[in-house]
Structure 1
Amino acid sequence: MSGYVVLVTGAGSGFGRLTAEALTRRGHTVFAGLRDVTGRNAQAAADLSASMRVVELDVTEQASADRAVSEIMSAAGRIDVVVNNAGMIFPGPLEAFTAEEAQRQFDVNVLGALRVNRAALPHLRARGQGLLLQIGSIAGLVTTPFTGLYAASKAALESLTEAWRHELAPFGIESVIVDAASYPTSIGLNAALPADTERLSVYGEAFGGFTTAVVQRSTEIGGDPREVADAVVKLIESDDRPLRTVVGPAGQREPALALSRASAETAEQAGAAMGVAAFMTR
């Protein structure tokens, strides 16, 4: 196998597809994880299979994650990198969401990464090396109105990534996260609005104005989503992998970078104050 053996989840579109394609061009052996490869993602699976291996993977099911990793091990004999990209967004006022909808948001964005990493980690640990790379969001650092569920899920992913980094370092395994700004990808097309339309309507004017402002600002700033894929490739191929990498147009990137630096400094100070600094890896 050439280069690294990489599993990319949610590889059918957006950052996942761009990342899988970029890694393939760089000579790495890529396994593109997609759900429903004979149904809604049949065309994406057909397109990707021309240059990489497609594995069926539904991150909301542990058995599916286990099967996908087993398939990779059978085909490649090892797995070096997991890119946890699969995700979705539930925009809207928190009051309008049911607990079941919130559970779905976390099931994909947070528990999905937990399941896939759980499936891969015994194999990484056996080799004494590996990389877990999560695709996060600036929303995990800054919470704005009407993004509460999504931001909370990405903030949780930040915490998991940092915990993995500390806990897995003794085994030679690294954990990092790429905090991406808003880019024109398909995630917005797949957004799930609250089912409770009555409560949603209470916030109608404010929510509509917020959505319009976000779209307008995104159009003004622009940005190429391939920047995120390029950042992922760079991290995978680098010997120096920081915990957080912020990617986005300057207007969004600089404030998020400042928050990221402040968070790292505060975490280091808090760890020292709690007497656990020796167990924390930077």
Structure 2
Amino acid sequence: MRLPAWAVPMPRRAPFAIWGGTPLSFANRGATPYRTSMETGTHPTLERGDIMTVALASGASTGFGRLTVEALARRGHQVFAGLRDIGGRNEKAAAELAAIAAAEAIDLRVVELDVTDQASADRAVAAVIDAAGRIDAVVNNAGMIFPGPVEAFTAEEAQRQFDVNVFGALRVSRAALPWLRRQGSGVLIQVGSTSSRVTIPYSGLYAASKAALAGLTEAWHHELAPFGVESVIVDAAPHSTNIGVNAVMPADAARMGAYAEGFGGFVAALSERQTQAPADPRVVSDAIVALVESPAGERPLRTVVAPASQRDAIRSVNTAATEAARAVSADMGVAAFLAL
């Protein structure tokens, strides 16, 4: 595949061959507090003494991913925007990111990353290490949605949903974790959904995939703590992004038709509410930036980004889940292994 001139080249040597020395601290202690674009209208750059982070984000062509990589780079971090097929379908988006980097003199680079391919994930992480010498933050943002009644989807369609939303995050994280563990620092940030806690009709496959992602995140949260690596998740309510535009509907028209009345009414009601009070996706990217810049040890396992009533309801579920985890682990005799 021909890559544009502005794309980050893949390393020509084994990734671990360049390992050496002590990486910079990821603690970010004393860094300038991050104030969101909603508060200030800008993303201020790092000040003297602040620590620059090397970050890789998947699904950076549009939506939360695009907003996140631009915001991080404008803050003064070294950012690698992961896009699939940068020599084809995403060539325009990649060129736009390169143009922004050049015009604003920020360190924002494009790297080929197809989260459905482990080799691609390995190469993307290797490219980051080859260029920066380390990796501090991984933002698993790539995602897609299959809306509709669960019955209408085949197992193969469900596998496609999980291949991106769950296994995609697993592939990228697996590629990065050996580096993060060696460094003894870093963070995995998953872009999740409030649907992982509360499932509404006609979002079953998506909700199931986000619940699975949340389970991986929580397991990593406990398992990686002894290595100084953190794992957190941002549970976002529906926002105005391109994920709905790229939604995949069931191929089984007959079974879909059986639910036509209910699904049609659901979509109309949801669309009306979102039209009345559209949610700005920048609040999600702002939350991700804040997590990247938070001091090590101070990042919450779950960050809920939703309208106040939804946020409070989801937080109550999270609090109950944490208490349940402590109680169950204590009863099983493994409480000492939880990072709560």
Who is 1:249 aligned against?
307
RMSD: 1.1
Who is 1:189 aligned against?
245
Instruction: Write the distance in 1 (CA, Å) between the matches of 2:308 and 2:301.
Output: 20
Deviations 1:110-162, CA, capped at 9 Å, x for gaps = 00000000000111111111100000000111111110000000000110000
Who is 1:262 aligned against?
320
Instruction: Write the distance in 2 (CA, Å) between the matches of 1:213 and 1:275.
Output: 47
- Map 1:128-207; keep pairs closer than 5 Å: 128-207=184-263
Aligned residues: 282
Q: Which amino acid aligns with 2:202?
A: F
Of stretches 210-219 and 51-60 in structure 1, the one that deviates more from structure 2 is 210-219
TM-score by length of 2: 0.81
5+ residue gaps, structure 1: none
- Equivalent position SS for 1:49: helix
- Structure 1 position 219, deviation (Å): 2.1
TM-score by length of 1: 0.98
| Structure 2 residue 143 is the aligned partner of structure 1 residue 87 | yes
Who is 1:30 aligned against?
79
- Equivalent position SS for 1:39: coil
Q: Which amino acid aligns with 1:272?
A: A
Which residue, out of 154, 159, 180, partners 1:103? 159
Instruction: Write the distance in 2 (CA, Å) between the matches of 1:94 and 1:87.
Output: 18
Who is 1:123 aligned against?
179
Point out the structure with the larger helix share: 1
- Structure 1 position 221, deviation (Å): 3.0
Who is 1:216 aligned against?
272
Q: Percent of counterpart pairs with the same letter?
A: 65
Task: Determine if contact 1:169/1:281 at 8 Å carries over to the other structure.
Answer: yes
Instruction: Write the distance in 1 (CA, Å) between the matches of 2:269 and 2:210.
Output: 22
Who is 1:60 aligned against?
116
Who is 1:19 aligned against?
68
Instruction: Write the distance in 2 (CA, Å) between the matches of 1:192 and 1:49.
Output: 29
Who is 1:231 aligned against?
287
Deviations 1:230-257, CA, capped at 9 Å, x for gaps = 1111111112101000002213222112
Which residue, out of 25, 41, 47, partners 2:90? 41
5+ residue gaps, structure 2: 1-23, 25-50, 102-107
Q: Which amino acid aligns with 1:256?
A: I
Deviations 1:31-86, CA, capped at 9 Å, x for gaps = 00000111111111001123211000000000000000111111111100000000
Deviations 1:153-202, CA, capped at 9 Å, x for gaps = 00001100000010011111000000001101000000000000111000
Task: Determine if contact 1:222/1:249 at 8 Å carries over to the other structure.
Answer: no
